[in-house]
């Protein structure tokens, strides 16, 4: 029995064949955003506040989402660019 089988309840175990798509790692934020639908900000490093979010939006699939878990980004600016924006502790737009 694999460790996963006894360490996770049945409803959390994978079903079917894996997608087979490899995980890509890059040090370039713009390349990481390419063909993605969402960007998640998980730390408050300055490099994430100074990104060119218009450029990020341009290379992303649409609709394009941003989840800001650290509340470091300007909601109005990102919505003006075209992002659907979510931030921890902030109300969602009606």
Q: Print pLDDT tens along the chain (94 aa).
A: 455 555 556 666 666 666 666 677 888 989 999 988 999 999 999 989 999 999 999 999 999 999 999 999 998 999 999 999 998 877 665 5
Please give, one letter per residue, the 3-state secondary structure of the chain: CCHHHHHCCHHHCCCCCCCCCCCCCCCCHHHHHCCCCEEEECCCCHHHHCCCHHHHHHHCCCCCEEEECCCCCCHHHHHHHCCEEEECCCCCCC
Total-model pTM: 0.70
């Amino acid at each position: 029995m694999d460790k996963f089988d006894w360490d996770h309840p049945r409803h959390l175990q994978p079903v079917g064949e894996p997608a087979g798509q490899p995980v890509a790692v890059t040090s370039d934020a713009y390349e990481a955003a390419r063909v993605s639908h969402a960007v998640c900000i998980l730390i408050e490093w300055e490099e994430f506040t100074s990104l060119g979010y218009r450029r990020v939006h341009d290379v992303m699939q649409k609709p394009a989402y941003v989840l800001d878990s650290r509340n470091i980004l300007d909601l109005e600016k990102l919505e003006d660019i075209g992002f659907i924006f979510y931030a921890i502790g902030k109300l969602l737009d009606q």
